Structure 1
Amino acid sequence: MVLKKITRITVQQKNKNRYNIFLADEYAFSVDEAILIEFGLRKGLELDEAAINKIVQKEKLYQFYTQSINYLSYRMRTKKEVYDYLKKKEVEPEYIDEIIDRLTKEKLLDDREFAEAFVRTRINTSTKGPKVIAQELREKGVSAKIVADVLELYTTEKQFDKVYKIMEKKLRQSSKHAFRKRLEQIQVNLMQKGFSREIIQEVAVNFSDQKDADAEWEALVFQGEKLLRKYQNKFSGFELRNKLTEGLYRKGFSFDLIQRFIQESLEQE
């Protein structure tokens, strides 16, 4: 068994927490202070090849660990996110598993804690519903059981309140479209955001009778005049009336308003 003696240990100039190890007066490897202390590296200590390899491997593992700590310093992560991060850096799978186990034991990785914080943040800072949030958590590697548990934080009352505020805000905005059409489009958008049809429809009932008559008429006139310009050179009489009625009804306007517009518009010609 060949033994090599540590003849010199120097501190790196750019990083005072790292040390260069010299064996037989030749540079051999460098280690972090934590590894230096763990293995009791000092001048005069003799190392065989197996000990050197163990130190080098432990140093490599420690470097990957510290990189993971830095990755976690920006925000909370899931185990899958850390795994993917280390895999992208081409870290050996056995090292990744060991690092994730250590981070978990040190309470630096906790998928349930991450998921709870994630849901609370989404509730407070976004317009996303529970279905979209659940999908986001699954994509981050959070288990189905944890996802189901933490989504209970997004209570029915909170969902109702969120949907109500979104619907109210959008309906206050000026528009050249029929109220019914706008309400339908908002409901579709809310479903895409991840809210349930049941809650959306329950909220929509509160707005069904809040249509502004003047705004509705202005929107109809705007849409009606566009259709009139489109059809008046191609159709006349009953056919023109029929085209206007069909077009405006599809846009969500009431039959009574449509007939009023047709009567007023065609009488002016």
Structure 2
Amino acid sequence: MVQISRITTQKKSKHRYNIFLNDGKKEFYGFSVDEDILIKEHLHKGMELDQAKIDSLQDKDATHKLYTLSLHYLSYRMRSEKELLDYLKKKEVPLETVSEVMDRLKEEGLLDDKAFAVALINTRILTTSKGPLLIKKELIEKGVDRLIIEEVIPLYTFDKQYEKVLKLIEKKSNFNEKKSYKEQLDRLKLNLMQKGFSNDVIQEALASASPEKDNEAEYQAVVFQGEKALQKYSRKSQGFELKHKVKSALYRKRFSAELIDRFIEEYVENE
């Protein structure tokens, strides 16, 4: 048995205390504890401790340290259980301690994957151009259970998606006059799908907000792309072969057969 001989406040942390012990022969530093442990365990000068009690106090203090560290980590933003678990594992502490801390945080409502998922969805809707499929992927990566995801993802309603897609279409409404209308429309659809929106909402939004096709501008785009193709292929081809290669190049660019034939007649027939 040893006896607490002194309790002093640490210089760098006023909420932590150094516990000095005396074994009857000399005084020595024993361990340190947080203020909460000091109060809860009624530690005081003259109190006798055996090794089992000292080990218990140190275990409780380690758990409290990890709990405080977790609170600090959670203070910046909400975290998923997986995010916190990954963070605490890096601290190289026993998994039992990590589990105890996480259980306490759940009981206190400070660690809740459903609340986290709801908050993340609402934040992404307000601050990003992400669609529900990308948000779902993000939640999966953060370790949120798929049942929770399926429960909360409908918060991103069709109407909200439709409104978001309309705004994205408006931002890209100035089509490049050097590319075909169809090619640019395909790229716009692909971009929206890559952002995580479904084909249904994309098609409905495009039906009401896609830029109108300008036939004259479309032909100028054919001329631009056609002249590039002519410059490329006329070095090694001529006649039917040249026309075939130019036509194929313009088809790949998604121009209509009518405009391609017009270009061939005006620019290639006499090559």
Q: Could you list the per-position Cα deviations for residues 22-60 of structure 1 after superposition, in whole angstroms to 9, with x for gaps in the alignment?
A: 001200111111111111111111111111000000001
Query: How many Å apart are 1:189 and its aligned residue?
Result: 2.2
**In the alignment, what sits opposite 1:29?**
31
Q: Where do residues 196-211 of structure 1 align in structure 2 (5 Å cutoff)? A: 196-207=198-209, 210-211=212-213
**In the alignment, what sits opposite 1:104?**
106
Q: Could you list the per-position Cα deviations for residues 64-110 of structure 1 after superposition, in whole angstroms to 9, with x for gaps in the alignment?
A: 11110110011100111111111121221111111111111111111
Contact persistence 1:164–1:203 (CA under 8 A): yes
Tell me how large the CA RMSD over aligned residues is: 1.7
Choose which of 11, 14, 19 in structure 2 pairs with 1:13.
Answer: 11
Gaps of 5+ in 1: none
Q: Could you list the per-position Cα deviations for residues 162-221 of structure 1 after superposition, in whole angstroms to 9, with x for gaps in the alignment?
A: 222222322325352211011112212222222112222222333567113343233222
Choose which of 54, 65, 68 in structure 2 pairs with 1:66.
Answer: 68
Gaps of 5+ in 2: none
Tell me how far apart the structure 1 counterparts of residues 210 and 260 of structure 2 sit (CA, whole Å). 19
**In the alignment, what sits opposite 2:189?**
187
Tell me how far apart the structure 2 counterparts of residues 85 and 12 of structure 1 sit (CA, whole Å). 27
Distance 1:241 1:206, change over 3 A: farther
Which residue identity is paired with 2:261? Q
**In the alignment, what sits opposite 1:47?**
49
Choose which of 215, 218, 234 in structure 1 pairs with 2:236.
Answer: 234
Contact persistence 1:171–1:183 (CA under 8 A): no
Q: Where do residues 1-269 of structure 1 align in structure 2 (5 Å cutoff)? A: 3-24=1-22, 25-174=27-176, 176-207=178-209, 210-266=212-268
Tell me how far apart the structure 2 counterparts of residues 230 and 242 of structure 1 sit (CA, whole Å). 13
Tell me how far apart the structure 2 counterparts of residues 112 and 63 of structure 1 sit (CA, whole Å). 26
Equivalent pairs counted in the alignment come to: 267
Contact persistence 2:173–2:210 (CA under 8 A): no
Tell me how far apart the structure 2 counterparts of residues 183 and 55 of structure 1 sit (CA, whole Å). 67
Distance 1:209 1:83, change over 3 A: closer
Tell me how far apart the structure 2 counterparts of residues 231 and 171 of structure 1 sit (CA, whole Å). 33
Which residue identity is paired with 2:267? S
Query: How many Å apart are 1:119 and its aligned residue?
Result: 0.4
Contact persistence 2:177–2:218 (CA under 8 A): no
Report % sequence identity.
52
Tell me how far apart the structure 2 counterparts of residues 51 and 158 of structure 1 sit (CA, whole Å). 59
Contact persistence 1:183–1:204 (CA under 8 A): no
Tell me how far apart the structure 2 counterparts of residues 21 and 208 of structure 1 sit (CA, whole Å). 73
Which deviates more, 98-107 or 162-171? 162-171
Tell me how far apart the structure 2 counterparts of residues 78 and 225 of structure 1 sit (CA, whole Å). 56
Contact persistence 1:6–1:43 (CA under 8 A): yes
The normalised TM-score by structure 1 is 0.93
Which residue identity is paired with 2:4? I
The normalised TM-score by structure 2 is 0.93
Tell me how far apart the structure 1 counterparts of residues 29 and 178 of structure 2 sit (CA, whole Å). 77
Tell me how far apart the structure 1 counterparts of residues 90 and 32 of structure 2 sit (CA, whole Å). 24
* 3-state SS of 1:91 partner: coil
Contact persistence 1:132–1:194 (CA under 8 A): yes
Query: How many Å apart are 1:123 and its aligned residue?
Result: 1.0
Distance 1:175 1:88, change over 3 A: farther
Tell me how far apart the structure 1 counterparts of residues 7 and 204 of structure 2 sit (CA, whole Å). 73
